[in-house]
Chain A
Amino acid sequence: METVIEMPTRGALRKGPVAEGMARIKSNDIVTGDYRLMVLDAPPEMLDCRAGQFFHILCPTGESFRPYLRRPMSIYCFDPAAGELKFLYKVTGEGTGALSELRDGAEVNLLGPLGNGFTIREDWKNLLLVARGVGLATLAPLAKEAREAGCTLTAICSARTEALLMSIAEFEAMGAEVIPVTDDAGTSGVEALREVIEGRIAEGGLDAMYTCGSNRILTLLQDIGARHAIPGEIALEQQMACGLGMCHCCVRSFRREGGIVHERVCREGPVFDLQEAMGW
């Protein structure tokens, strides 16, 4: 087996103390299909967040679900003024099943904010993101940061069906131009996406691209990025235990000068350089 060094090269950029404590659920309703939105009343020390960061949630054991480890969840929305934190999640297994059973007024234990968020360099003006499924949860808060940085944002939102498209209004409210694509309409395939993105580049140029989750989209954006010398970032997922950088279970592989390195998604990530990320 190749030896890969598990050494942070981006450094631990995350600043400041991490809070652990309870937050009260304001609502926890179905958005569409298996997707739910959890709105929490969170203390101020949990609300100094960046887009791309996550919380490590202690999902309670109940009658039907018995999760043990915490579950990482992207920050879908944070609002220090309103004292609100939101998570958008897809009910798939033990952890998210347990979350889906929580009623308004219940409390959950959160640890965070954790990890390093997306970067928007000062000289970037035109940004593009490609979000599929629950990846929206991770990329949505980027719209607000893009607006605050004075950038224009194009959001390509992809889903299986039109009914499963989420957050379009939220993106538009943040001044983003939304391009919805679906499997049903045949507009979400790699070649269709390539055409849309290449079109953007031809029209006015792109300074950076962001995505998360999907291997297919990663490969596509890496190819476009390499061809047009457009930088980008990807938020990655990996199974986690501690969420803090202690256990080394959440590593992924990255291409670096001198070879392949392993880095911890919870600590050096979850946001990584687009070209350095390796498919899985």
Chain B
Amino acid sequence: MVDLTTRLGALTLKNPIMPASGTFSEDLADVFDLDCLGAHVTKTITREIRGGNPTPRVCEVQGSMLNSIGIPSKGLDYFKSTILPHYAAYETPLVVSISANDADGFARLCSDVTLPGVAAIEVNISCPNIEEDGKAFAMRPRTTTEVMEKLRAATDLPLWAKLTPNTGETIEVAQAAEAAGADALVVSNTLLAMAIDVRTRRPKLGNLMGGLSGPSMKPIALRMTYQCAKSVDIPVIGCGGIGEVEDVVEFLIAGASAVQVGTATFINPTVMPRLIDGLAEYMHHAGIARISDLVGSVRDEEAADGVVFMEAAP
């Protein structure tokens, strides 16, 4: 028997497979028993009730997709009255994803979701910050430090910072989040992208631009996971384009201690349980006893030191 458990700071998960925020909800329980997952991660919630973006909210781009869902949210009260009690029926730890458009509001919400039944808080600092002209908090180290310090002071629960690929300062941002007290990094959110229908000359998304996710995101998220794992001591959770057992193993080797699966669930709603079984089978055949034997086992040798901090393609 292989041991699939993985440690993320104070939290031990029964396996390293969990859903990515916004691509998962209670509704998936119609398809399989959600208690098989390593963790449950909610769609990002905001304090206030919010509508999402105009439709069309998704489009496909050669084997991947763009989305401009936005963060439609039923608000904090609905979360407390309906969503939280729903997950109480499961043993799997619940991770609540939150966001706000200014640092103080973010911290207040963080404090308000520090509730029994919540195992960790994932802070979606890849969302726009209105105090910085809509630039995401996690685009720059300074704004990352500012918001993470306030968030850290607002909760004793494990705090996971979800990073954005829309930055040229991946490592500085990762280190800023760690220094400000993050317990783990989730790497990463979607990459800002666009698609136009050449026939009508209209952008394919109602919001004009949106986030790229799915297989095309994988090499980018893997590169960031590697860079983050090399430059911080807190655990890294890989996310982006994961859909096959080999993808999971690749992220673990790059340094991730766990992974999140997003878009792949849309294509194959049972992909997460399949990945859990497939990973156990892979490890069994490869003679790997523990997840930790894989984590960060990339053979990059001395070349790594000079290259990790690179923010441009050679």
Q: Which residues of A contact B (CB under 8 A)?
A: 1-7, 12, 14, 16-18, 20, 58, 61, 66-70, 94, 109, 111, 238-239, 241-252, 262, 267
Contact = CB atoms under 8 A, between A and B. Distances in A.
Contacts of B49: 3, 5
B266 A239 contact: no
A241 B27 contact: no
Nearest to A16: B30
9 contacts: A3-B51, A5-B51, A6-B72, A7-B74, A18-B30, A20-B31, A70-B266, A242-B23, A244-B30
A2 B53 CA distance: 11
Contacts of A246: 23-25, 27-28, 43, 265-266
Interface in B71-117: 72, 74, 78
B64 to A, nearest CB: 7
B203 interface: no
Contact of A3 (B22, B28, B50, B56): B50
Interface in B191-242: 214
A34 to B, nearest CB: 18
B210 to A, nearest CB: 10
A68 B69 contact: no
Contacts of A244: 27-28, 30-31, 269
B65 A69 contact: yes
Interface of B: 22-25, 27-28, 30-31, 43, 49-52, 55-65, 67, 69, 72, 74, 78, 214, 265-270
A69 B52 contact: no
B72 A249 contact: no
Contacts of B267: 58, 68-70
B51 A242 contact: no
B89 to A, nearest CB: 16
Contact of B270 (A6, A20, A249): A20
A68 B27 contact: no
Contacts of B30: 14, 16-18, 244
Given A244-B28, A246-B25, A262-B52, A69 B270 contact: no
Contacts of B55: 238-239, 249, 251-252
Given A4-B51, A245-B27, 12 more contacts: A3-B49, A3-B51, A66-B62, A68-B61, A239-B56, A242-B23, A242-B265, A244-B31, A246-B28, A246-B266, A247-B58, A249-B56
A67 B60 contact: yes
A247 B23 contact: yes
A215 B59 CA distance: 23
